[in-house]
Amino acid sequence: NMERVAPTDSTVLITGETGTGKELIARASHNVSPRKNKPLVKVNCAAIPAGLIESELFGHEKGAFTGALTKKVGRFELADKGTIFLDEIGELPLDLQSKLLRVLQEGEFERVGGTQTFKVNVRVIAATNRDLEKLSKAGQYRSDLYYRLNVFPIHLPALREREGDIPLLVQYFARKFATNFGKKIDRVSERMMTSLQRYQWPGNIRELEHVIERAVILSEGSELEPIEWLSQPGGKAGSGKPLTLEEMERQHIVDVLEQTNWRVSGEKGAAKILDLNPTTLEARMKKLGIERVKPNA
């Protein structure tokens, strides 16, 4: 589907869980489009404070608000003739949705604090992990904006539903990190690959990427270093009992928590490594019976 829509200017809405590779699809779509030599501008709507997102998207004039000491060019202007990737579009405040709809329909906007109308030619690719159709029916998201974004929907299943993709992803990440670290890795054991395909991957592709990066760092030969928590049967030497998916997930989370000295949140916390929201990780820990250990000083 991506190959069909990439050469067009149609708006694309990519949906799927966090970490399923939505940005990879957006970049790939831009790179094979007629706009590939023009800018690809990314905006994470969830990472920008609500009071600043209008200025970030559309720019502002000098003196438009307290602290606006100079003119600012917005992301839509920067993306003119190219592509803008609106990640986490489901987090866009309601009061800004009408302004985004206008840009999608008319290709025009005004900077904050200004009266001049700017025209842009921008291809829009949006992504979300939320159900915008459900939100629009509940009145929490503009239905006209949802329909305008949903011209060409692409849904990315969770990695646990795409185990057939794992070998290709493992090869890709292994080569990528081997090149980055000046190593040559061209083999992955069948046992390790089977373990990778059996794991549930709550953090999806991003978690797999982190795991392969770590394995490459630890690898000394041409074969990817086996990952202990994946390859140990039953978690105990010599038990001969294969891990269940929950046991594998539990062991992985505990392993990461031990690496981070049992810190869950923050830049150096386990949630960051697993690419999960801290509250989501804490919920998984509770479900899997992982009792939090007090971090060492």
Select the highest-mean-pLDDT range: 66-75, 143-152, 220-229, 276-285.
Answer: 143-152
DSSP letters, 101-163, are HHHHHHSEEE-BT---EEE---EEEEEESS-HHHHHHTTSS-HHHHHHHTTEEEE---GGG-G
C-alpha pair distances (Å), 72 with each of 58, 60, 211: 9, 5, 40
Mean pLDDT of 170-192: 88
Q: What was the pLDDT predicted at 194?
A: 85
Which CATH code is given to the segment(s) 1-156? 3.40.50.300
Q: Decide if 53 contacts 93 (C-beta within 8 A).
A: yes
How many angstroms separate the CA atoms of 59 and 48, rounded? 14
Q: Is 56 strand, coil or helix?
A: helix
Q: Chain-wide mean pLDDT for the chain?
A: 87
**pLDDT-wise least confident of 88-92, 130-134, 249-253:** 249-253
> Given this chain, do its domains 1-156 and 160-230 carry the same CATH topology?
no
Which residues on adjacent β-strands are paired with residue 125? 12, 85
The torsion angle over the Cα atoms of residues 227, 230, 234 and 237, rounded to 10 degrees, is -10
Is it the case that residue 240 has pLDDT exceeding 60?
A: no
Which CATH code is given to the segment(s) 160-230? 1.10.8.60
Cα torsion angle, 115, 120, 125, 131, sign? positive
Q: Where are the domains of the chain?
A: 1-156, 160-230, 245-288
